[in-house]
Amino acid sequence: MTLGQAAKFLGVAQSTIRKWSDQGRVPAFYTPGGHRRYRRRDLESFVDRSGPGRRTATGPLVLVVDDDARLREYICVNLELAGYAVAEAENGDQALHAIDDQAPDLVLLDLVMPGVDGWELLRQLQERHGAIPVIMFSGKVDERAAAEAAEHGAQGFLGKPFDPEELLVRAKQLVPV
The CA distance from 143 to 14, in Å, is 32
CA 97 vs CA 63, 135, 165: distances in Å:
11, 19, 29
Residue 96 near residue 121 (C-beta atoms within 8 A): yes
Whether residues 46 and 67 share a domain: the answer is: no
Residues 99 and 135 in one domain: yes
Instruction: Say what the pLDDT of residue 57 is.
Output: 52
The pTM score is 0.67
In the chain, the N- to C-terminal Cα span, in Å, equals 33
Q: How many domains does the chain have?
A: 2
Residues 150 and 98 in one domain: yes
- CA 47 to CA 108: how far, in whole Å? 22
Q: Is residue 32 domain-shared with residue 86, that is, in the same domain? A: no
Q: What is the CATH number of the domain that holds 161?
A: 3.40.50.2300
Q: Note whether 12 and 97 are same-domain residues.
A: no
88 and 166 assigned to the same domain: yes
46 pLDDT tier (thresholds 50, 70, 90): confident
135 DSSP β-pair partners: 108, 156
Given a cut of 70, whether residue 74 has pLDDT beyond it is: yes
pLDDT of residue 55: 44
The predicted model gives 147-167 an average pLDDT of 86
In a domain, 56, yes or no: no
Is position 7 within any domain?
A: yes
